[in-house]
Chains A and B, each alone.
Chain A
C-alpha cells in the first residue's frame, strides 16, 4: 500500500514553497532591493543634494499637475461615457464601449505620435486639408495641458470601467423602489444612482491618477522637447546621462513615484471597501432610462467624442505614415509607402525590434502561464493563512508604475548575480525577468477567476478516481481553465508587445523592443517611419482585442478587462 500522507488537502508538498519562491523572486526581491537602496542613500545624505535640486521639485510639480488635470479629463470623458452607456437607451452600446476602450490599449507613445500628427504646423493631415497653422507656430501639445489631455484620453477607460462596474452592481430594486415612491427619472438619477456610484467615480479617478503618475510614453514625446520633465522622464534622462550618483538618485526618484502611487491605490482601496453592501438585492441589470427626444443628441455626442479621441488621431497617424517626410503636405501626388518598405524590408533595426518584442512577449505570456496556473491553483485552494499576503504581493509589481520596477531590476542586476557570477544586465534576460514580474498579475487574474468558478467537486471526483496531482492538472484542471488561460496569454502578449516603460530603461544595443524603437525613431526625427510602425502596432492591438472580444462569451466573468 502507498505511504500515508500527512495532509488532507489536495496540494502536493512542493506547491507552497514553489509559490513562495516565485513571489519572492518576482516581487519581494526587486522591490526590497529598491527600498534598501533608496533608504541607504537617504541616510548617507546623498539624497539631500538631489532633494535640494529645484529641478526635482519642478518635476514633482509637473508630475502632479499633469496627473491631476489628466485625471480630471479622464473622469469627464470616462464618467460621461459610463453614465450614458450604462444608464440610458443608447443604440450601439457594445461597439461604442469597445471603441472607447481602444485608446487605453494603444501604447502611450503611439497615442502621442498620432496626436502630434493631428495638430501643429507640420501635421500631414492638416496640410492635406489646408488647415495647418503657419510654419513656426508652436506645437500646442508640447505643454502641460497637452500632456494632461492625452493622459485623460489614455486613462478615461479606467474611470469608465470602474464607474460602470459600480453602476452595474447597483441593485435594480433600489431604483424601482425610488420610482414607486414617486420620484421622477431625474430625481432617481440625482438622489439614488449618483450617490451610490460615487465610490466608482472616486476609485476610477484614483487609478487614473496613479496611471498618469507612472506614464512614460506621453511625457517622453510631448514633454522632453518642451523641457517639461515628469518623474518618470526625469529618471530616464538621469539614467541617460549616467554618473556616479545615478543609482542613488533614480532609486530615490522611483521611491517618490512609488509613494505617490501607493497613496492613490490606498484611496482606491478605501473608497471601494465600503462598496460591499452592493450585492444585496437583484443586481447586474441596471434600470435603463429613456432619453426620448434627446437620444440622438447623446448619440451624436458619443460618436463625435470617439471620432475626436480615436478616429482623428489614427487617421492623422496613417496620414503621417504615408507622407514622404515630416512636414511635407500629403496629396495624391506625394503619397508613398516608402516608410512601410523601410521598416518591413530595409531596416535591420525594425526586424530586430520585432523579433525581440515578439519573442519576449511570447516567452512572457507562456512562461508566466505555467507559473500562474500553479499559483492560481494554490491561491484558490489553499487554506493557508498566507494566501492574502501572497496575492497582495503578486499584485504590487503591476500596480506600481513600470518605471519603478525597471529601476528595481537595474539595481538588482547591475552587479553580476552572486554565486554563479553571470551578469544579465544589458542582455535580453533582464527585460524578460522584469516582464515576468510586471505582468504576473495580468496573467494571474484570469486564471484565478477561472479556478474560482470551478466546482471543487470536479477535482475531488478525479482524486477519488485515483488521479494524483500532476495527472489531475493535465487531465482535469488545465483543460477546464483553458479558455481563461488562452485569454491570459493574449492579454499578456498584447501588453508586453506594446510596452515601453520597462524596456526604455533596460534595453541596450541589440535588445530594443518595438516600444523603444518607436520612441527612438521619433526622437531621431524619423517621424514618418515611427508613424508607420505605430500603424502596424495599432492594427496588431485591434486584432488581438477583437480576438478577446470574440472569446469573451466563453470566458468567466472578469477575464476580459473591458467587459463587465
Chain B
C-alpha cells in the first residue's frame, strides 16, 4: 500500500467546455480516510471516477505510490487497479446470491474452493450478514444491501476503497448505523478510503481529512476540526457548520480569530472603508443584557432549544440559540464571543 497522489488533475468533458475538475492537487496518506465534500455538480464524483479509472484525466496525473495510474495519454484500466468501490445504487448483481456477489472479485482472480468460501464468510461476518449468504439482493433491505457492497470491497484487500455518496439512499436512522460500520471497516482494513458526500455532517463524522470542492476547484484540505475552526474563504465557511457570514469593516491587524471587544468595535464602526467577511457560529452568539442591538426575524423550536434568526440594524442576518422563548419582532442585545475572519 502507498499514498495516493492527485497531481494537478483536470477533466473537461466537451472539447472547449467548462472544466468539470480544474487543477486539483491532493495527497491522501496511506490508510487515510478522506472525505470529498461539496455541493452537487462540484466535480467531486468526477474526481472519484478518475481515481477508479472510469474517466481519463484531460490533464495532470494520478499516482499510487510510484506507479502512475493515469495521465492524459495513458491509463491503467479499472480492472487492474486493485481498488474497490461502494456505489450510491449499491451495484449488486441481482442474478447472484449475496455470497456470489461478495465472492465475485475472488472468482475473477482465480481464487476458488475453500479459500474463497472462507474469505467470503469472513467478509460477511465483518458486516454482520453471515446468515444472509444465500439470499438474493432483492430480498435485502437498503442497509443490508449497502453492507453487502461493503463486504464485496473488503474481500480482496484493495489498496484504495472509494465510496460514492453511499448513504444518500438510506433513511436517517440507518445512516448513523452505517457510519459506524464504515468507521469499523476503515479501522479493520487499514485501506485508504475516499468518501464522496455533499453532507458536511457525514464528512465531519467519518473522515480523518476533509477536502472541500466547489465548481471543479479544490478549496481547502484539512482535518475536520481544523476545517470547522479555521475555514478558508467564504465558500468553505458557508459550507461547513451553520455559521452566518457577515460583511463588516476590516479590523486592524491580521488576527483572524476575533473576540468580543474587536467584534464590538467593528460592529459599531460606521465609516466607509475596506470590508471583510466574518464567520459567526450560532453557539458563539450569546443573548445578554447589554451588547449589539438586534431584531428577531424568526424563531424555530428545536426541542432542546430555540433557533433564532436575528437581524443587525444594517439588515445583515445571523443565527443564534436561545434557551428561552422569544417572539418575532422582539429587540434583543447580543454578545459575539468569538468570530472568524474568512
Contact = CB atoms under 8 A, between A and B. Distances in A.
A464 B81 contact: yes
B91 A461 contact: yes
Contact of B108 (A4, A457, A471, A479): A471
Contacts of A461: 85, 87, 91-93, 149, 152
A464 B75 contact: no
A465 B80 contact: no
B89 interface: yes
Contacts of B94: 480
Nearest to A466: B108
Contact of B91 (A2, A457, A468, A471): A457
A302 B52 CA distance: 58
Interface string A1-29: 11011111010000000000000000000
A458 B78 contact: no
Contact of A464 (B67, B76, B84, B92): B84
B79 A4 contact: no
Interface residues of A, number: 25
Name the prevailing secondary structure of the B interface residues: loop
B87 A463 contact: no
Contact of B76 (A5, A458, A465): A5
A464 B52 contact: yes
Interface string B49-65: 00011111000000000
A465 B75 contact: no
Contacts of A10: 54
B93 A480 contact: yes
B157 interface: no
B74 A4 contact: yes
B73 interface: yes
Given A8-B55, A465-B152, A466-B80, A460 B67 contact: no
Nearest to B104: A465
Contacts of A471: 108
Contact of B83 (A4, A8, A464): A464
B77 interface: yes
B39 interface: no
B93 A2 contact: no
Contact of A460 (B74, B75, B78): B78
A460 B79 contact: no
A475 to B, nearest CB: 7
Given A460-B52, A480-B93, A468 B79 contact: yes
A335 B85 CA distance: 71
Interface string A445-476: 00000000001011011111111100100011
Contacts of B80: 1-2, 466
17 contacts: A5-B75, A5-B76, A5-B77, A7-B56, A7-B77, A8-B55, A8-B75, A457-B91, A462-B93, A462-B104, A464-B52, A465-B105, A466-B108, A467-B108, A471-B108, A479-B93, A479-B95
- Please give me the 4 A-B residue pairs with the lowest Cβ-Cβ distance, nearest first: A8-B56, A465-B105, A457-B91, A461-B91
Interface of A: 1-2, 4-8, 10, 455, 457-458, 460-468, 471, 475-476, 479-480
